[in-house]
Amino acid sequence: MMRFDVITLFPDMFSAIKDEGVIARGVKSSLLEIHTWQLRDFSDNKYRNVDDKSYGGGAGMVMQVKPIRSCISQIKQKNPHAKVVYLSPQGQQLTHQLAHEISQLDSVILLCGRYEGVDERVIERDVDMEVSIGDYVISGGELAAMVLIDSVSRQIPGVLGNAQSLNDSFANSLLDYPHYTRPEIIDDQQVPEVLLSGHQANIDAWREDQSLKNTQKKRQDLIEK
């Protein structure tokens, strides 16, 4: 059982992954748990503020250490070995391989930033791993956390139809092969004959070849690696 604890100002956003799809099924079948924590509940003032102006000036607010640290320490009371992941563009890039490594942990705390992000002292002392979903900026860590939860959960045995995740594009460091379904012909477009042949060895060979060609055409960089 893998457990995610998400620290966020917008816990309702996580209904997007909690309520339906592959992750929801993983939760229902007790393979994973997703808990959200409203950071404002850890504020020490009546206005429930968790941010303040930036030292040095400039527009934009910074998330304060105290509420974050007290939320993390409450979560860790039950899971002392939980790893804290901060989602930011300055992190290590999330890849199939990193998602797999994270899937080996049993408890992950995901810290979602807003505004200008968290006070650097949180990163220094409380964060174990900084992870980025790519070289662009989004408005908060929540969407990045959901991407991480989805990509990690898919690699937990049983969350997908068991053999499915081995089949994933990137599991073999190549792009996927093309997929077709009924009907056999639509307008002037026909399903490749080999897929209708029933000859599984030929189908497997065709798919492998298509994966390679697809990768050469669209992502030469993956082959050079």
Which part of the chain contacts ligand 4GY (CB under 6 A), choosing from 13-21, 95-103, 127-135, 194-202? 127-135
How far does Cα 17 stand from its chain's mean position?
A: 11
Residue 86-105 contact track with ligand 4GY, rule CB under 6 A, x = bound: -xxx----------------
In this complex, which beta carbon is closest to ligand 4GY, that of residue 114 or of residue 154?
A: 114
Q: Does 113 bind ligand 4GY (CB under 6 A)?
A: yes
Determine the Cα–Cα distance for residues 144 and 131; give it in Å rounded to an integer: 9
Question: For residue 170, what are the contacts with CB-CB under 8 A and spacing of at least 6?
Answer: 95, 96
Burial class (CB in 10 A: 0-12, 13-18, 19+), 223: exposed
Of the candidate residues 52, 73, 95, 134, the single one contacting ligand 4GY (CB under 6 A)? 134
Token couple for 159:
């969350």
> Annotated catalytic, 168?
yes
114 assigned to active site: no
Residue 210 CB, shortest distance to ligand 4GY, in Å, is 31
Return the residue of 2, 7, 50, 144 that touches ligand 4GY, per CB under 6 A. 144
Q: How far is the CB of 93 from ligand 4GY (least distance, A)?
A: 9
Rounded CA separation 222/215 (Å): 7
Per rule CB under 6 A, is residue 132 in the interface with ligand 4GY?
yes
Amino acid at position 185, single letter: I
Minimum CB distance to ligand 4GY, residue 48 (Å): 19
Of 40, 168, 176, 207, which is the active-site residue? Answer: 168
Please name which of 45, 151, 61, 76 lies closest in space to residue 114, comparing C-alpha atoms.
61
Distances (CA, A) of 72 to 19, 108, 224: 25, 11, 41
Q: Footprint of ligand 4GY on this chain (CB under 6 A)?
A: 87-89, 113-114, 117, 132-134, 136-138, 140-141, 144
